[in-house]
Amino acid sequence: MNSTHEVFNQPAPLADYNLFETNRPLRDALKFNAPQLQVAPLQELGVTIGSAEMQTHARLANIHTPELHTHDRFGRRLDEVEFHPSYHVLMSAAVGAGLHGTPWTGTSASPHVLRAAGFMLFTELEPSMLCPISMSYAVTPALRGNAAVYADWGPKLTSLWYDPALKSFKDKPGVTMGMGMTEKQGGSDVRANTTKAVRDGSDAWGERYAITGHKWFFSAPMCDAFLALAQAEAGLSCFFLPRVLPDGTRNAIHIQRLKDKLGNKANASSEVEFHGASAWLVGEEGRGIPQILEMGTMTRLDCALGTSGLMRQALSIAINHASQRHAFGKPLIAQPLMKNVLADLALESEASTALAIRLARAFDHPDDEHERLMARLLTPVAKFWICKRGSHFAQEAMECLGGNGYVEEGGEGIMARVYREMPLNSIWEGAGNIMALDLLRGLRKGDAVAALTRELAPARGQHAALDRLADALPARIEAMASEVEARRLAQDVALAVQASLLAQTAPPAAVGAFCASRLGGDWGNAFGTLGAGTDFDSIIQRASPL
């Protein structure tokens, strides 16, 4: 009790709940895409990361941001990044849950779907420290291009142990890896890279090179090793670049500074220079582009998964707030306009979850031609559309909380962190134009259009608007002679696949509302503009974390 007033009508934060058990859309997506999946690990993870204790670690890791120490007090180079202890608690939990390289061991049913669901759940807690987790996942298969390095490092990349110490991989139970691709002058155009690789002999790890140059974005610089691009004699090539060399000395990787970013605060993103750093060739000289594309496919999957997880968290906070907060004589969640907003957000969140998990399923079946084609098509589609919707979604969810959503502290302060994080996944690993162009390239190969038609076939007859879109897409694809409408095509492919998936996994009320709004035109230009005939209550109830 304050001396001037009583504090009331302030919602209790959403904490100490099971993120997996309360996520019905995710559970249904898993049943559809991986019916044999054992979900006990997800149940356990849902309890752990839904706890108030882990939420505190996430908050502290973002408040006490990484600090760079370039030199020790005697003037010797250190090139070390210091993290708050809570960061390491989060990393231990993510590695222990197998969210990094473990799917590549193939020891469980649907390992990529299992890992995808866990990655989405963990993103609800704290997304930024998942950067090294995602990169470790992406580089593991690419590292097989150097059999000797993979034999030494592969088992430790799939270990469930996290060790943050900067020391030889031989003395660590588990390791993490990052990537170094973009440079100041090129960005996504990695062909413009100027970093040079010069032959420097050979040893047990194969052909060794001396790398001289820089990287403009070198995320998670405290990883144990990196895959980096550099220009060799035969062209742009991929190299394995460890922080600590086999003899125990530190490699010549100099961290110039850490990026001051809009969000993603718990993760250290850096600028580095290589001063004759030792690196080993992975794959063939001149084949760096195909290898980076292979890695990029996996990190793009994580962009879609991560944004879907952030959407789910923002929606859960909004529903939690609206269920407790009263205005004009009744709870916010009982107000007709608020119902429209929450139901609209719920549809968007479920559609994103359905598409992201469907994409993950494709990676569990690399020998299936249809799944291979869907992985090729849906990766840029999901990355483009889900991530593009993220910032708008977060802003609308924040508005559900009013001024409380714009404040950093407290349980609802998570919303501000979610909002700052949302643009990153749209930019990272190829912005919207790159994804739209990548879709065009994928559609021009093999039987991609036929594969898309097969993908949409099970939902035929479920809604007239979906049938019209599915009928029109093949002709639009065949007739597209210019890049200028590539974004619109990526949008429409995403919406068609999302609607098809919902038709097979979601209740009729959600399917009808999604198709009528997103495909049928019964929608405005902002969230909360669904038609009056929508079954708002059932859609919100399905999405509720309470």
**Is 17 in contact with 334 (CB distance < 8 Å)?**
no
How far is the first Cα of the chain from the last one, in angstroms, to the nearest whole number?
Answer: 28
Tell whether the model's pLDDT for residue 115 goes beyond 70: yes
Q: What's the confidence (pLDDT) of residue 444?
A: 85
In angstroms, how far is CA 175 from the centroid of its own chain? 20
Is residue 279 very low, low, confident or very high in pLDDT (cuts 50, 70, 90)?
A: very high
Q: What's the confidence (pLDDT) of residue 255?
A: 98
Q: What's the confidence (pLDDT) of residue 1?
A: 58
Tell whether the model's pLDDT for residue 348 goes beyond 90: yes
Is residue 481 very low, low, confident or very high in pLDDT (cuts 50, 70, 90)?
A: confident
Percent of the chain residues topping a pLDDT of 90: 92
> Quick one: DSSP state of residue 445?
S
Amino acid present at 405: G
Tens of pLDDT, residues 12-36: 999 999 999 999 999 999 999 999 9
**Is 318 in contact with 345 (CB distance < 8 Å)?**
yes
Q: What is the pTM of this model?
A: 0.96
> Quick one: DSSP state of residue 518?
I
Helix 288-324 vs helix 111-125: crossing angle, to nearest 10: 50
Tell whether the model's pLDDT for residue 224 goes beyond 80: yes
Tell whether the model's pLDDT for residue 198 goes beyond 90: yes
Rounded alpha-carbon distances, angstroms, from residue 342 to 52, 96, 517, 537, 544: 25, 34, 14, 10, 10
CA 282, 284, 290, 294 dihedral sign is: negative
What's the CA gap between 326 and 330, in Å, rounded? Answer: 5
Write out the H or E segment, with its range, that includes residue 440: helix 432-443
Phi, psi of 270 (to 5 degrees): -130, 170
3-state helix, strand, coil in the chain (%, to 5): 55, 15, 30
What's the CA gap between 157 and 175, in Å, rounded? Answer: 5
What's the CA gap between 204 and 148, in Å, rounded? Answer: 7
Amino acid present at 362: A
Tens of pLDDT, residues 399-411: 999 999 999 887 7
Q: What is the mean pLDDT of the chain?
A: 95
Percent of the chain residues topping a pLDDT of 70: 100
Q: Number of H helices and number of E strands within the chain?
A: 17, 11
Can you tell me the mean pLDDT for 141-145? 92
**Is 34 in contact with 110 (CB distance < 8 Å)?**
yes
287, HSE (Cβ side, Cα atoms, 13 Å): 9
Can you tell me the mean pLDDT for 476-481? 87
Is residue 108 very low, low, confident or very high in pLDDT (cuts 50, 70, 90)?
A: confident
Q: What's the confidence (pLDDT) of residue 296?
A: 86
Tell whether the model's pLDDT for residue 458 goes beyond 90: yes
Is residue 474 very low, low, confident or very high in pLDDT (cuts 50, 70, 90)?
A: very high
Max CA-CA distance within the chain? 78
Q: What's the confidence (pLDDT) of residue 231?
A: 97
Q: What's the confidence (pLDDT) of residue 2?
A: 67
Amino acid present at 488: R
Rounded alpha-carbon distances, angstroms, from residue 227 to 43, 142, 365: 34, 9, 26
> Quick one: DSSP state of residue 104?
G
What's the CA gap between 32 and 135, in Å, rounded? Answer: 27
* Domains recognised in the chain with CATH numbers: 24-157 (no CATH), 176-287 (2.40.110.20), 290-543 (1.20.140.10)
What's the CA gap between 283 and 293, in Å, rounded? Answer: 13
CA 182, 187, 188, 193 dihedral sign is: negative
Instruction: Name 504's Cβ contacts closer than 8 Å, sequence gap at least 6.
Output: 32, 458, 459
Is residue 531 very low, low, confident or very high in pLDDT (cuts 50, 70, 90)?
A: very high
Tens of pLDDT, residues 414-442: 999 999 999 999 998 889 999 999 999 99
Considering only residues 1 and 297, tell me which one the structure prediction assigns the higher pLDDT.
297
Rounded alpha-carbon distances, angstroms, from residue 426 to 19, 226, 308, 387: 24, 23, 12, 5
Q: What's the confidence (pLDDT) of residue 229?
A: 96
Q: What's the confidence (pLDDT) of residue 79?
A: 96
Tens of pLDDT, residues 78-93: 999 999 999 999 999 9
Closest-CA residue to 345 (of 276, 309, 416, 394): 394
CA angle 382, 379, 115 (to 5 degrees): 90
Helix 52-63 vs helix 111-125: crossing angle, to nearest 10: 70
What's the CA gap between 360 and 345, in Å, rounded? Answer: 23
Can you tell me the mean pLDDT for 243-271? 96
Is residue 96 very low, low, confident or very high in pLDDT (cuts 50, 70, 90)?
A: very high
Tens of pLDDT, residues 358-406: 999 999 999 999 999 999 999 999 999 999 999 999 999 999 999 999 9
The Cβ of residue 70 has, within 10 Å, a number of other Cβ atoms equal to 12
Q: What's the confidence (pLDDT) of residue 15?
A: 96
The Cβ of residue 526 has, within 10 Å, a number of other Cβ atoms equal to 11
Tell whether the model's pLDDT for residue 278 goes beyond 80: yes
Residue 354 token pair: 């359905």
Tell whether the model's pLDDT for residue 214 goes beyond 70: yes
Is residue 482 very low, low, confident or very high in pLDDT (cuts 50, 70, 90)?
A: confident
- The residue whose two tokens read 């592969």 is 154
**Is 292 in contact with 189 (CB distance < 8 Å)?**
no
Task: Out of 32-41, 410-419, 525-534, pick the least confident.
Answer: 410-419
**Is 406 in contact with 398 (CB distance < 8 Å)?**
yes
Phi, psi of 277 (to 5 degrees): -65, 140
Residue 108 token pair: 């469980």
Amino acid present at 478: E
Is residue 276 very low, low, confident or very high in pLDDT (cuts 50, 70, 90)?
A: very high
